[in-house]
Amino acid sequence: MKVYLKIIIPILILLFVFTTSFAQSNNNIILISENFDKDPGWENYINRVQATGCPVITQNFGWNLTNNNGDGIGEIGGTIFRSTTPASYAIPIGKSIGLKEPFSASGNISVIAAEKEAFGFYLGFFNSERDGWRLWSSCGARLGMLSKDVEGAARWHLDYKTGNAAGATLNPDLAIPCDGSVHTWEMKFEPEVRVADSKWPHPKLPDYLPANGSDIHTDSVLVKFQKDEPSMTKEKLLDLLLEARNLGLVDDWYRKGKYHLWNKEKEPEKIKGKITFTFDGESVSYFLVPEHQGLPFEIDRFGFWNMQVYTGSMEFYVSNLVINNQKIDLSQDPHWKGINNRITFTEKDFHGCQNFGYSQTNWASENPGEIGGRFYGTEVDDPLFGYYATDIGELTLEDPIKFSGNVIFTEGAVDGRMLIGYFNKEELLADIQGEYKGFPPHQYIGLSILDGTRVGYYFAACLSAHRSNPQRVRRRRNVFVSPAK
């Protein structure tokens, strides 16, 4: 079987050419082939989804002759929507900056209004040649979702991503009220700052963290601590752990508004490159992951861009702006580069709008005709999962099964995932039972492609047994495929 497969997860495109062979019970190898010069008419299930009753949205942000922040006429801001249609307003830096050079920005910011359910945008440094969420070669601060701890406030999140799709995130306890009040912010990257130069905020804290780099829960650290210092409280311990995190000595696992797990960095002498974000005088920091230091990274813009997922809006204003130690004159139009920042359109792309199957395109070969499209990762109870497949009869693990091919990767979004392989249709469509999460489904053998923030995109061989024996085997190899332009 010759297949050209283009895949988007949520906006991830892969092009895949493969041949497949398998044996029936008589052990004779059967080879199926098709060149896709016409529609093969494969079976499909919810693979082409079109949204109806779609909203009309207006991106309207950039330079304005306003003074919402009280710093004088002229500021950057307006209404910005989350959308898979990219939108940005940014200043070209001139030369590209990598991870061996410092960069910084600061200013004042206010948020006038935000939708209750979903909103958000980025401010920071990025590469203008890549779209998506998170942007490849970027380092930014993101405002998204309302804070669970501070009513009527939006949470800050920090992340960077290299030119190989690998990155890291930090989720500080910082929130900005959505009431128009003005606040200060600063972001800076210091490439030569090393974790090895840091001292622990408490001399005994490293003794209570596992030496093998495994995770430990906050409560377990507290129990150990209180054996030596009965007066230690959970609040004081969290302050110590967060300070150690800012120094790069420990890493945290943050989930749903709480810091749960901690681990001690195993080789702090290898860690350098400090990213610091300060909001209203309170600073938080994190460091480059050591294996990311040599990866491609080129930023050529500073500015503001939308989170490229579906939908929600926020109105914001930034003033008193300083970029790489240079004050920006906003009293007149700075003539920055705007992309889709002043447009009105019908939003048709929402989560679950699968759009894959046969198409007369040629991403994967010289001749038109291939299989591909847009694949969204869905939760186990989401009804908008789909497939595009052909019936190959019944096989077991006693039969030799084989397929191979080429993959070209052009775009990818956070938490994207999909499967290429052999599956049981009845099992795939069966009602959910128990706590099994469904990835991969029962009775599946093939490949999984999924995002992992720290490493980029996994290209993994995996096998999932019958539901009566729910053990799964997944052997991963992180494969990065250069983006097709």
Higher pLDDT, 329 or 483: 329
- Which of 238, 236, 235 shows the shortest CA–CA distance to 246? 238
Size of the chain in residues: 485
Does the pLDDT at position 1 exceed 60?
A: no
Domains and CATH numbers, the chain: 5-49+352-478 (no CATH), 56-196+270-346 (2.60.120.200)
How many angstroms separate the CA atoms of 173 and 343, rounded?
Answer: 34
The pLDDT value given to residue 96? 87
Instruction: Give the tens place of pLDDT for each residue, 278-290.
Output: 999 999 999 999 9
- Which of the residue ranges 22-26, 27-31, 169-173, 422-426 would you say has the lowest mean pLDDT? 22-26
Q: Which run of H or E residues covers position 404? A: strand 401-409
Does the pLDDT at position 73 exceed 50?
A: yes
Higher pLDDT, 478 or 300: 300
What average pLDDT does the segment 112-130 reach? 85
What beta strand segments (E) does 231-298 contain?
Answer: 250-255, 258-264, 272-279, 282-287
- Which of the residue ranges 26-35, 220-229, 375-384, 448-457 would you say has the lowest mean pLDDT? 26-35
pLDDT range class, residue 23, cuts 50, 70, 90: low
Please give the model's pTM, rounded to 2 decimal places.
0.85
Q: How many Cα atoms occupy the beta-carbon half-sphere of 21 within 13 Å?
A: 7
